[in-house]
Structure 1
Amino acid sequence: MALAAEETGILQEAYPTKARDGLSNYANSSTHERKATVFAKELIKTAIAEKLDKEILLSSKTFCIADLGCSVGPNTVLAVQNIFEAVESKCQYYLHELNSQIPDFQVFFNDYTSNDFNLLFTSLPNDRRYYAAGVPGSFYGPLFPENSLHFVHSSYAIQWLSGVPKEVMNKNSPAWNKGKIHYSKSGDEVVLAYKAQCDKDMEQFLQARAKEIVCGGLMVLIFPGVPNGTHHSQSLPNMILELLGSCLMDLARKGIISEEKVDYFNMPTYLMSPKELEAAVERNGCFTIEGMEGLPLPLPSDSSAVASHLRAAVEGMIKLHFGEKILDELFDCYRKKIDENFSILKSGNLVNFFFLLKRRAAN
């Protein structure tokens, strides 16, 4: 998972997902994301078999794959292996037309400069049959030369915005999000500010990818979202963040942190509905949507797993804003609230979407 950022983004840039140390590190705690990758394997295999243009294979000496928001593994390694095997299998089918010469494979692993690429590279298999390189930087801007990528993959990344909407931290704005760290149970102005930030980010994301992906190339986006017509407060990931916000307010009432500190802390995440992504793709005009699937995944079985997962994802942000001393007490409170509300959380929507996009031919 990539964390994002411009203004508040300095915070995420400096403190990405927790890579090392303990049970709450992201590599150990991202089993939910790993399940989505496993679910998506057959969808990716089918997408490549049916939608990847043969001409791309015949004309490319090197087939280039990029995983955007790769974090430190092992999920990115599994996803890349699935893509590689599917493309290689298709190459084998056209082996006579390729004159028995399968293209080389180049894989680019992208995340912020603060990502622990060393840890990622140590997890790459020694017997891999592709070249590997790290590409640091935000995927909300250009990362690669024009017409250089054949397949782009991004999983559990685009829900992270490039930064918190400025309006929600402005006392004089109608979108001032006092006492909350997220938008799902806030007023319409706050929700609209988050949506506007998401729309802007997706415009930049798609513009950059449209230049980088060759005509006929494919892009797979996997992200947690909300079903069409579902209120944001009914989404399980949003419900989980609301509980974290309530824990921060509990610490403020105890005088451990100031309430003003909570007022100026907002999570830079937004869960899109399928219609919202479809609208972004239509506005961009450079891609067709070739497929969309929901990947329903079960809620983790216990509160400790939920707490460890979220702590790995957001500990860096909380540490920078509130200091390190509150972390253990905060997440102990959080785990207890998960226990108390587990039956309610089970009613929340936990849906992950798989979108397959194809780069249109140039006009």
Structure 2
Amino acid sequence: MAEDKMNKSPQSFPMNGGDGRYSYTKNSSYQRGVVDATKEMINLAISQKLDIKHPSPNSFRIADLGCSVGPNTFISVQNIVEAVELKYQSQGLNSHIPEFEVFFIDQAANDFNTLFTSLPPNRRYFGRRCTGFFYGRLFSKASLHFVHSSYSIHWLSKVPKEVVDENSTAWNKGRINYTNAPNEVFEAYFAQYTKDMESFLYHRAEELVCGGLMVLVIQGRPNGTLHSQATPNMLFDLVGSSLMDMAKMSVKPKVDSFNLPIYTMSPRELEAVCRENGQFTVERMEQLPRVVGHSTATRAQSCTLHIRAAMERLLKEHFGHEILDELFDRYCKKLEEHSFIFDTGKGINIFALLKRKETD
């Protein structure tokens, strides 16, 4: 396992740590719903697609990319561990069930203290911390058996440099996202997405054993949907609109240099980069059932807390903490005014099951 400079992200976008009001721990119930929706799909994937080697490896290694601070990562890896155990048992290999090692991976700035102090006490695996940049290399060759990532790879490795360059035709003045922007801005974002995904798949192909599985759960948009109609982008645009409304507070010059490092992909775009990589077979790719968040707050309030938990540290680094309360107050009011987004916006969660091809 490597943790050299090549694996460090040039930019850092960790979720809010701790367990306070605006923490990711307290405001990731929607993502929890997505995790729950994948449980049976992961069980089926492991039952039907995982190659059981005999003799068994001494340890079965699982990596969760973008673990954040829990608790969703613990639920995901427990689902995987139980499914692998059941696979061995179904083949009469109870005595050959390997030990499990789970690598919780996120950026160095992630709140690993909160994560590891809340590890389930009765877990059936050894938990390991791994800091690094998952668009780069993290592990030695053929050392992982299962890779999982949920709600992480819609984040790009960085903001495309062209969109914050005043001398570029792709300068994204007055916006924080590529929707409703000139085509040059979109092209810069799409190029960064393509480059990042090519790197992601290349390195995961090196790290997975032949026959190993990778599950990706991704915030996306349906095939053929305009980016401006995708629910995530509509929500992000309201953050930008709220920032522009605060221009009178001297925020505007900083808005022109602030862009979100996020791309909302479609299943077709994901399939294209997988096909180009050529090291994986796409065993399953489909849209998850619609997830309904469980919250006593209004939809606008709940969404505001989720967005704040995910983006506060990024916004704070660029604008300072002084504007945050007013920004999200404005954002919540805009969500209430634009509540149609929750019903008419076109957003999906993509479930992709990839299998590492056998080498020649």
**Which category of TM-score, normalised to the shorter sequence, fits these structures?**
over 0.9
Q: Which residue of 1 aligns with 2:183?
A: 188
Confirm or deny: 8 A CA contact 2:179 2:233 kept in the other structure.
yes
| Aligned-partner Cα distance in 2 for 1:116–1:261 | 27
CA deviation after TM superposition for structure 1 residue 41, in Å: 0.2
Aligned residues: 349
Greater Cα shift, 37-46 or 26-35: 26-35
> Which residue does 2:329 correspond to in 1?
332
Q: How does 1:1-363 map to 2 (within 5 A)?
A: 11-12=11-12, 16-20=14-18, 22-55=20-53, 58-96=55-93, 100-252=95-247, 255-298=248-291, 300=293, 301-363=298-360
**1:219·1:356 contact (CA, 8 Å) conserved in 2?**
yes
Q: Secondary structure at the match of 1:361?
A: coil
Q: Determine helix, strand or coil for the equivalent of 2:340.
A: helix
Deviation (angstroms), 1:125:
1.0
Q: Which SS does the other structure have where 2:86 is aligned?
A: helix
Report if the CA contact (8 A) 2:32-2:72 is conserved: yes
Give 2:3's aligned residue.
Answer: none
Residue identity in the other structure for 1:277: L
Q: Is the 8 A contact 1:299 1:346 kept in 2?
A: no
Q: Deviations over 1:99-129 (max 9, x none)?
A: x231111111000011111211122111111
Q: Distance in 2 between matches of 1:139 and 1:11?
A: 12
Indicate if the aligned counterparts of 2:280 and 2:354 stay in contact, CA closer than 8 A: yes
- Contact kept? 2:180, 2:228, Cα under 8 Å: yes
Q: Distance between the aligned counterparts of 1:166 and 1:107, measured in 2? A: 35
Measure how far apart 1:19 and its partner are.
Answer: 1.1
CA drift of 1:11 comes to 4.9
Deviations 1:13-36 (A, max 9, x none): 5xx110125322101111111101
- The answer to whether the 8 Å contact 1:18/1:316 transfers is yes
User: Partners in 1 of 2:130 and 2:231 — Cα distance?
Assistant: 32
Q: Distance in 1 between the 2:84 and 2:243 partners?
A: 47
Listed as ranges, the gaps of 5+ residues in structure 1 are 1-5
* Aligned alpha-carbon RMSD (Å): 1.5
3-state DSSP class of the match of 1:66?
strand
Q: What's the CA shift string for 1:220-261, capped at 9, x where partnerless?
A: 000111111100011111100000000000000xx2133221
Asked whether the equivalents of residues 12 and 316 of structure 1 are also in contact (C-alpha less than 8 Å), the reply is no
* TM-score, normalised by the number of residues in structure 1: 0.93
**Alpha-carbon separation, structure 1, partners of 2:329 and 2:132:** 34
Contact 1:45 1:82 in 2 (8 A): yes
- The answer to whether the Cα contact below 8 Å between 1:243 and 1:334 also exists between their aligned partners in 2 is yes
- Cα shift at 1:79: 0.2
- CA, structure 1 residues 137+344, in 2 after alignment: closer, same or farther (shift >3 Å)? closer
Give the whole-Å Cα distance in 2 for the aligned partners of 1:24 and 1:258. 23
Structure 2 gaps of 5+ residues are: 1-5
Offset, 1:171 = 1.5
Contact 2:19 2:26 in 1 (8 A): no
TM-score (norm: length of structure 2): 0.94
| Structure 1 ranges of 4+ moved more than 4 A | 298-301
Kept in 1: contact 2:231–2:341 (CA 8 A) = no
Q: Look up the equivalent residue of 1:84 and give its one-letter code.
A: V
- CA–CA distance in structure 2, aligned partners of residues 51 and 77 of structure 1: 23
For the residue of structure 2 that corresponds to 1:217, the secondary structure is: strand
Shift in Å at residue 66 of structure 1?
0.5
Q: SS of the residue aligned with 1:134?
A: strand
Residue pair 2:37, 2:289 contacting (<8 A) in 1 also: no
Q: Distance in 2 between matches of 1:115 and 1:295?
A: 28
Contact 1:239 1:345 in 2 (8 A): no
Identity, % of aligned pairs? 53
Cα distance in 1, alignment partners of residues 331 and 51 from structure 2:
49
CA–CA distance in structure 2, aligned partners of residues 352 and 153 of structure 1: 15
* Paired residue type of 2:251: S
Q: Deviations over 1:189-222 (max 9, x none)?
A: 1111101000000111111101100000000000
